[in-house]
Chain A
Amino acid sequence: MRHILSILVENEAGALSRISGLFSARGYNIESLTVAPTEDVTMSRMTIVTIGSDDVIEQITKQLNKLVDVVKVVDLTEGNHIERELMLVKVRAAGKDREEMKRLADVFRGRILDVTDKSYTIELTGTGSKLDAFLQAIEPGVILETVRTGASGIGRGERILRI
């Protein structure tokens, strides 16, 4: 099963490699990983999307908690949550396809950030599956470049992750 783990870590050099090292050393999957400082500059918030059985996810959570730099770990998928990912995609947009591409971007609520006479650079935000759907909706041949941030997540309602 796919899980989204939200982690508060000490904003220290090496914290990221401790966590990524843990995943590789113990053979856990990382589908995506994002990290940036929080409003408290001494702490960073990390979102890891991983896939594993319940037993594996339990071990991952316990092993993460064991790391001295890790302040808190929450499995967002255990409750209601919001998940967003940002994608920038550069597509070929020339001739008769140009208008079609603009319409498709509109359908997916994408924004065109940059334009040349042969291409568009589109910004898209949403769940990972929405971004996948956009990429599937356009012809593979017209995709020039994609860059994705990986998922960020936050709990719905009163659910708050802080110390």
Chain B
Amino acid sequence: MQLTGAEIVIRCLQEEGVEYVFGYPGGAVLNIYDEFFKQDKVKHVLVRHEQGAVHAADGYSRSSMKTGVCLVTSGPGVTNAVTGIATAYMDSIPMVVLTGQVPTHAIGQDAFQECDTVGITRPCVKHNFLVKDVKDLAVTIKKAFYLASTGRPGPVLVDIPKDITQASTEFSYPKTVSLRSYNPVTKGHAGQIKKAVQLLLEAKRPMIYAGGGVILNNAAPQLTRLVRLVGCPCTTTLMGLGGFPATDPQFTGMPGMHGTYETNMAMQNCDVLIAVGARFDDRVIGNPQHFYRADRKIVHIDIDPSSISKRVKVDVPIVGYVADVLDEMLKLIESSPQRPDPAALKTWWAEITEWQRKDCLKYDTKSDLIKPQYVIQKLYEITSGDAFVTSDVGQHQMWAAQYYKFDEPRRWINSGGLGTMGFGLPAAMGVQMVNPGAPVACVTGEASIQMCIQELSTCKQYHLPIKIVNLNNRYLGMVRQWQEFFYGNRYAESYIDALPDFVKLAEAYGHVGMKIEKPGDVDGALREAFKLKDRLVFMDFITDQTENVFPMIPGGKGLTEMILAEEL
């Protein structure tokens, strides 16, 4: 059957089982939009800015294990989308980005709304394609979905010139596709796995450090079993929260710059560290020279060979899907009578318990001002720890990560790698779309929320009852914190004067707004908001302006060089 390129795009999306496409129309994609109009299998969600479309597709993917899809027009549509694409790339989110392009004959002529999409996005996609012949369109889209979701996932972009959407060809959607140059190693090396198990079982002070790879590869059940079987402490990074239950006594909290005292001490002092789908990021281990210890063995399991020995030399590298590797490790451990020496483990835990006594996350609970930590704790309580929580970037993000205890994977959705302010609200839209009826909270700040505030309008159009928890301290909080610590209290441009009245703003968009100024009102406001099941509620919490995130490792320092709240 002869189909036009535009029809082919829609048919491919149908074949892939895509439910939602987040996008924004424009000249170069008009033919594709016309085909959207003629069918109702694939639903289109109209955002208010292309960045929002990509973040929404991203949130959709993170909370659902599916590949997110977005569609934007050429030129400014693409450049607006770049922040979202880079965000997804840094966090390895499977995504297919379809972009319109000027007609092939106009490419390179500085045509209206032309930009070098493939060139601009090249450094922030797993791969990208420019389709130059309608005959290649279907197979290219198939390749895009395949590349996005296999190996180390990531965004893949397909740039489609307008004339390609008009041209016709015979349509057949390939069932499978293979690329001779793309063969990720997915099965871990048996010998290496054996070595890793041996190290773990012989360890006196073992520790497991899991990252976003556990979430992406749906390996939380395997990780949980392994940690419980071995009896060692477990930490999950910002990207790995929920990969191991935060309420489990073996969970020691997040590591890194704003990680817990006990986790950072344990990471530094363990004798065997098993890194699972984590990448020894600078925000996690601080200075690699300081992190290095000759007497500590490191096992690193990752799907991406280039993540291994990139920042930290490891003793046992294992390349493969973390879920499969953990399965193999579990098999070996379960069939072996050997377990880590119980006496040594007991001493290790006693040491950790001593570190835990620092109670590094305590804060002033008697203040007359609303403490942001308290808001998060209340949010956790009122949602029974069962909400999807998205966040923006800054202090509120760290507090959400520290005080909301995620027991399940894919509940905590944040921009960890790129650190994109403006991510939270559009990501929450994607989350709510794929989890209708589930409680979705967007923890944000008065600065971040304004970076994609326009999406409040999209939320109204699609009846997305997101609960926005705005921790409003009238400062770019994290910037202010650094300025307080390292720049002699010179708060250069970190104070936001002339903030909008967020209650009125929410109401103007057709939502419910609340302003909460006293600690005593926090609980009631949150309860009321979550009772409004079909309304978006914007809760503007006026919080203590001077609150800081602790513990904190200053940039360039080592894991044990933490600043604790009590030390100030």
Q: Which residues of A contact B (CB under 8 A)?
A: 9-10, 13-14, 17-18, 21, 25, 55, 58-59, 62-63, 65-66, 68-71, 163
Contact = CB atoms under 8 A, between A and B. Distances in A.
Contacts of A13: 130
Instruction: Provide the main secondary structure of the chain A interface.
Output: helix
A9 B179 CA distance: 12
Contacts of A69: 127, 181
Contact of A68 (B179, B306, B309): B179
A68 B122 contact: no
B147 interface: yes
Nearest to B184: A66
A69 B143 CA distance: 13
Contacts of A71: 180-181
B4 to A, nearest CB: 24
A59 B122 contact: no
Q: How many B residues are at the interface, by size bracket?
A: 10 to 19
A58 B309 contact: yes
Contacts of B123: 21, 25
Contacts of B181: 9-10, 68-71
A25 B124 CA distance: 11
A65 B122 CA distance: 16
A66 B306 contact: yes
Contacts of B182: 68
B126 to A, nearest CB: 7
B249 interface: no
A68 B127 contact: yes
Contacts of B490: none
Instruction: Provide the main secondary structure of the chain B interface.
Output: mixed
A10 B305 CA distance: 21
A14 B91 CA distance: 24
A62 B303 CA distance: 12
Contacts of A9: 181
A59 B304 CA distance: 12
Contacts of B41: none
Given A13-B130, A18-B122, A59-B310, A65 B179 contact: no
B126 A68 contact: yes
Contacts of B130: 13-14
A113 B187 CA distance: 56
B118 interface: yes
A10 B179 CA distance: 10
B126 A63 contact: no
Interface in B154-201: 179-182
Nearest to B182: A68
B122 A17 contact: yes
A12 to B, nearest CB: 9
A18 B305 CA distance: 19
Nearest to B305: A62
Given A17-B122, A59-B306, 9 more contacts: A13-B130, A17-B119, A25-B123, A55-B309, A62-B305, A65-B305, A68-B179, A69-B127, A71-B180
Nearest to A64: B306
Nearest to A63: B306
Nearest to A12: B129
A117 B465 CA distance: 86
B309 A66 contact: no
A66 B92 CA distance: 13
Given A18-B122, A21-B122, A68 B147 contact: yes
9 contacts: A13-B130, A14-B118, A18-B122, A62-B308, A65-B306, A68-B179, A69-B181, A70-B181, A71-B181
Contacts of B305: 62, 65-66
Nearest to A10: B181
Nearest to B308: A62
A68 B305 CA distance: 14
Contacts of B306: 59, 62-63, 65-66
A87 B122 CA distance: 33
Contacts of B309: 55, 58
Q: In the complex, which of the residues B180, B181, B304 has the most CB atoms of chain A within 10 Å of its own CB atom?
A: B181
Nearest to A42: B180
